[in-house]
Structure 1
């Protein structure tokens, strides 16, 4: 099942893509809210694969080529998204994977590590949190102002208008020194070209009932954990990463100076890829 494939799990079709040696230890990449697999750059996946890993990325429900619901009416919950990750670990990673989750995918990864520890060899949490809390820094004022006065919706039938909308949305979250407009536009074009219903993809995840905050249970995580976070993240400022590294037993923290709330930019790969490869060289005995 190397390359791109549609797999049927939990009553839905999910589009997956696999890189590297099929017999190598598996890394399962879990994306952010509304993000198809394309936002995990294929070259990033290949670099991880060259380090001796089988790398799996996939389209969530309502993104890319996976099963889609009408805009504004997602027919699933956050628990279903966790169950999908479990099913993919079973199907594509022989029941046990190194889990790497970003933003919403990081929240999914936390629940996966707590409720299904036998599936998680190691855990890497990127640009994520357990959610807002009184002792954690709030959203950056600039981003909060953008949420309060959002840009008009694009014409969803006009691909170039949607691409421009996605680019400007990603600009809000990226670190100013790590936003490459043409690079982002290229990925956005891939996303729009591959996505069954881009309006559903943009809107529906925000409407899904979540699995709740994992913070009260972070101490239950037994998988070796690496926390990777942008030092200029406007959505989850670095205090969120410090909290995760403090409250998860023996977690390690890697701060990327100047990076925002975004997948690791290419200019950081010389740091991030070796960090993930080194971390995923760790393993625990199978849970009893």
Structure 2
């Protein structure tokens, strides 16, 4: 299938765009979940490495009201350097299958000992980095996700070491994580927190993408792209071709400089006698 792309530059948010794509008829089930880790840049230039180690990851299934271990690195765990996960970089924590449904929490379990590396001008030094309760109850993320079953689900977690690292006199370095889900991508929905200074991209798999340059947003903003379907009553009333619609949120958002919205469609799905109009 050849997919074409329509791109446009916009100053304000576009509320609805028709894609001319009929609803999918495939019954294939895809329940794969991909979990990624990223980190917002650390302000302290002296910090050269932040090494944290995860042992396993659980999710809470609303249907059964049980915690499910979805990633297990063993007792030794898996170590990540958070400073290598900045500037739009991310590393996969794991991929796993889940039953379709809602999962309201994620819990990250960590080893008790971690390392921070600092260059204070006299040389590079490593110090212990303690995470309260990381190895006991784990770190819970409030905010969940839904597995629809009709396509992969991709989640990105932001560790945000910039806000998490604290140095207390007599106690050394402490890490009190403020981990949150900053991006969710499925076949029907995509949401990503865009930092105003950095800009970024939001992708709805195979449907649309929005590119926001640095400085286009006044403040950090969660941008959503949602796929809707035009029902027969609406298409009969408006004369529009039945298919998908792309909705952007938050409604009324103003870009300070132009952003680029691209919508993908399959020209083979456009009936004979009709032509594309933008």
Which of the five TM-score ranges fits, normalised by the shorter chain?
under 0.3
Computing the radius of gyration over CA atoms, which structure comes out larger, 1 or 2? Answer: 2
Q: What TM-score, normalized by structure 2, do the two folds share?
A: 0.24
Higher strand share: 2
Higher helix share: 1
